[in-house]
Amino acid sequence: MKRVITYGTFDLLHYGHINLLKRAKKYGDYLIVVLSTDEFNWNMKQKKCYFSYEERKALLEAIRYVDLVIPEENWEQKINDVKEYHVDTFVMGNDWEGKFDFLKDYCEVVYLPRTPEISTTKIKDDLLNK
């Protein structure tokens, strides 16, 4: 079984997220989504989420491409996650291009193009400017 892993906050879930998850799943049989916890988002990214970790987790678990959702609690956990879950392919959006190349010693690293016309930031900006 080929295992794929991706990371994200997935707040205000939208079709760009779904596109990423669908394309990530094509790289294997089992997709693990590592979801940023509320504490990690606030303390390390200075991001306040609209939906709580548990709400975002429930949304992701309802998506047919997603097999497992686990928490992201720190930046450094990626190598351990790849090893612990026997990951074959690490997938991220290409806005992170090159940032995770250090994982190439442990698995294949793939950067997928983002869906250009949508993002959580764009949704928030559009709502604020209405």
- Report, as residue numbers or ranges, the catalytic residues: 45, 47
**Helix (H) or strand (E) segment spanning residue 44:** helix 38-45
Q: Cα 68 to chain center, whole Å?
A: 12
> In degrees to the nearest 10, what's the CA dihedral of 79, 50, 57, 105?
-10
